Amino acid sequence: MKSLPDWLLHLENLHPKGQAGIELGLDRVSRVKAALQQRQDCPLIIVGGTNGKGSTCAYLEAIYSFAGFRVGCYTSPHLLDYNERIRVDRVPVDDELLCQAFARVEAARQSAGRVALTYFEFGTLAAWEVFAAAQVEVVILEVGLGGRLDAVNVYDADCAVVTGIALDHTEWLGLTRESIGFEKAGIYRAGKPAICADPEPPQSLLDHATAIGADLRLLGRDFGYFGDKTQWTFWARDTQRQGESALLRRGGLANPALRGACQLRNASAALAVIDVLKQQLPASMQAVRRGLIELELPGRFQVVPGRPTIMLDVAHNPQAVAGLADNLGNMGFFEKTIAVVGMLGDKDIAGALAALAGKIDLWLLAGLDVPRGAPAKVLAAVVEEGKLGGDVESFASPTEAFSCAAKRAGENDRILVFGSFYTVADVMRALKQPA
């Protein structure tokens, strides 16, 4: 039987474009899904959006686990190990079960006419095989890219969430929020709860939800939140009732374990799901409280214990880096901020880095030796031409850049590592190495 590294190499070589290959469409994955005879036997939640997908999935996964349900959760990309993508009861699937699932998908792929699945499509089908074998009671799938033509959309969501819409992946999804909003709304289904946590949803999303007859729930109209630095309250409107009795309130909630100003919005999106699925998947207030505070999500404004302060964040588009900049401003005083940055070349690098203008004392810019990786000199040009402030140095890899940062930082400084998942993963591996 093939080992996991063998299988992952196989996945990378199946599609002409390799692991980095993106080819949207549901035809290929539908054919292999049919060959696998996959069925939906439990409630399914699909989460899409430009930013906040991973956090919202993590809240749902934790809350339903604490509510006593067997939960399957599929997210991407991974940071250190592929197994992180497929979890049962919040634990990454082990190599043996993953390899068995890959083998079943491969056999079905062959029988369906040797379909050239992409890396993500193959993994999505394998995740479903893992969840079916584990007999999970609720499945949470995170959209990989867009929504309408993403592989997870081959399944029908009992509840679908769009966390927010911003400009990213414009090469595939279009150049405006309207075009991107339409793509993301593609995960909504007729007659099923369709949650949108974007405070200003594009008209295209609203129109699509109306056209298909989805049960659209909007942030600020149908659910929302308020609070202060110590606690917060979630509210939702009961569409079956009128007046004050139509409001559900979950108050006295501790602020989420995940850091950042955007997390109350992500947590509210998760609680909106809990509310609309309460008949099929009842969750107590105790499960909600524990799920919000007893979780970790590596690489999302993650602060590493010790001094100097080290922060890891996979922010890689303008909206996400703007949120990161806000979070930095709320951290208190540091003598110096050193940024270790590596990004993919097809991102809006100038738009993303502009949010940190005047906030970085030393930019340590890293090239990424992966498909689509931007050379360090491209990042340096953006910093210098954008007059973002601070000194600039270039390195061949995030590991080298971080090594320099560790040597240059005093104990009252902070090191910010952000950009591509590849950047954060490289530094995480370096941090795990013994000194």
| 349 to 188, 205, 244, 341, 427: CA distances (angstroms) | 31, 27, 47, 11, 20
pLDDT at residue 18 in the model = 47
Q: Give me the pLDDT at residue 416, please.
A: 95
Residue 30 pLDDT: 96
For residue 425, what pLDDT is reported? 93
Mean pLDDT by 10 residues, the chain (435 residues): 89 67 80 96 95 93 98 94 96 96 96 91 97 97 90 96 77 73 94 95 94 96 88 85 68 86 90 96 96 90 90 89 87 91 90 93 93 90 92 95 95 94 93 70
The model carries a pTM of 0.90
